[in-house]
């Protein structure tokens, strides 16, 4: 290879040629792939009043829970408890999650008055029912966007047969973090209300969550693992989840590293031209 035959003087010339480029690459923090602002337009979600509104850009794992008017499973509560869609993707640095729902994040949690607040986001590594991590979605347990491990979960009002049975809740629908170990901070923004989304609920209000969690907080636990992301309210009236497969290894090059490859080729080309002259 050409690089192996460079003498020390020529190697120094390569470094000098690259220096102006390196100063703008190596020390630049990569920008987030998604703007965490509660606006899902950069995911491809739109508000045109048709069925395709909930379909995201390609390469995103997603679930559209229903295309019916305020249909809930297993509970009730109409549009105010309707989970519409969930989106999951990642890059070399972050896990990204977005949720669309008819449930207002500011809904008080007052079960005696049939008011149930928003639950937290649960993550099941291996998709085996373990619910290993929780993301605080509202700041009710800690700071919104914080990631917790060793989570003890609350559950809803419905059993595995979708019958009202608070004494025997379905463990497939974790609701809020009851206790856990703080791992670190991510970014989370909730927004709304917004209208005009979806073919059957274009006139209804919708609310959105958008989340970015650094992959470094998970260590090497993610590598090659399937995983599941889940969200519902504290009553679990309407739960939604996404199963994503083959989470990438954590040694994917950062964007800055990838940018060095063409710069190196450019420097070698300039050296060859100088030698020829």
Q: What is the pLDDT of residues 177-218, one digit of tens each?
A: 999 999 999 999 999 998 888 887 667 889 999 999 999 999
Cα→Cα distances 52→19, 46, 55, 218, Å:
48, 8, 5, 34
Between 255-276 and 8-22, two packed helices, what is the crossing angle to 10 degrees? 130
Q: In the chain, count of helices (H) and strands (E)?
A: 2, 11
Digit-coded pLDDT (tens) for 128-174:
999 999 999 999 899 999 999 999 999 999 999 999 999 999 999 99
Does residue 68 have a pLDDT over 80? Answer: no
Cα–Cα dist 62/84, whole Å: 11
Check if the beta carbon of residue 243 is closer than 8 Å to that of residue 61.
Answer: yes
In the prediction, which pLDDT does 259 show? 45
pLDDT at 65: 83
Per residue in 226-256, pLDDT (tens digit) is: 899 999 999 999 999 999 975 554 434 344 4
Contact 75, 163 (CB under 8 A): no
Is residue 19 classed as helix, strand or coil in its secondary structure?
Answer: helix
Reported as a single tens digit per residue, the pLDDT across 85-137 is: 999 999 989 999 999 999 999 999 999 999 999 999 999 999 999 999 999 99
**DSSP assignment of 204-242, as one string?**
S-EEEEEEEEEGGGGTTTTTT--EEEEE-BTT-SB-EEE
Nearest to 132 by CA among 144, 147, 145: 147
What's the pLDDT score for residue 19?
42
**Domain boundaries of the chain, sorted by first residue:** 40-252
Contact present, 210 and 88 (Cβ < 8 Å): no
pLDDT at 11: 43
207 close to 190: Cβ distance less than 8 angstroms: yes
64, 99 Cβ separation under 8 angstroms: no
Measure the CA–CA gap between 156 and 102, rounded to whole angstroms.
18
SS3 content of the chain, % helix, strand, coil (to 5): 20, 30, 50
Q: DSSP states of 121-185 as a string?
A: EEEEETSSS---EEE-SSSSSSSTTEEEEEEEEEE-SB-TTS-B-TTS--TTSEEEEEEEEEEEE
**pTM, rounded to two decimals:** 0.78
């Amino acid at each position: 290879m050409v690089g192996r035959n460079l003498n020390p003087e020529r190697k120094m010339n390569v470094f000098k040629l690259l220096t102006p480029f390196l100063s703008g690459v190596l020390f630049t923090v990569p920008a987030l792939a998604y703007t965490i602002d509660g606006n899902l337009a950069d995911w491809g979600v739109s508000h045109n009043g048709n069925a395709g509104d909930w379909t995201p850009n390609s390469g995103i794992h997603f679930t559209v829970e229903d295309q019916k008017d305020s249909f809930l499973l297993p509970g009730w509560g109409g549009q105010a408890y309707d989970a519409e869609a969930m989106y999951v993707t990642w890059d070399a640095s972050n896990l990204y999650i977005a949720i669309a729902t008819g449930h207002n994040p500011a809904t008080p949690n007052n079960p005696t008055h049939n008011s149930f607040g928003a639950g937290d986001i649960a993550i099941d590594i291996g998709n085996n029912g373990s619910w290993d991590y929780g993301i605080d979605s509202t700041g009710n347990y800690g700071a919104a966007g914080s990631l917790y491990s060793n989570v003890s979960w609350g559950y809803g009002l419905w059993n595995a047969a979708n019958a009202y049975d608070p004494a025997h809740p379905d463990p497939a629908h974790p609701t809020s973090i009851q206790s856990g170990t703080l791992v670190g901070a991510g970014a989370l923004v909730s927004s709304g209300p917004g209208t005009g989304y979806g073919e059957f609920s274009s006139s209804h209000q919708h609310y959105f969550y958008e989340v970015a969690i650094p992959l470094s907080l998970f260590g090497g636990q993610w590598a090659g693992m399937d995983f599941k992301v889940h969200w519902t309210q504290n009553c679990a009236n309407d739960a939604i989840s996404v199963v994503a497969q083959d989470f990438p290894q954590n040694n994917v090059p950062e964007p800055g590293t990838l940018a060095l490859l063409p710069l190196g080729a450019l420097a070698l080309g300039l050296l060859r031209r100088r030698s020829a002259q």
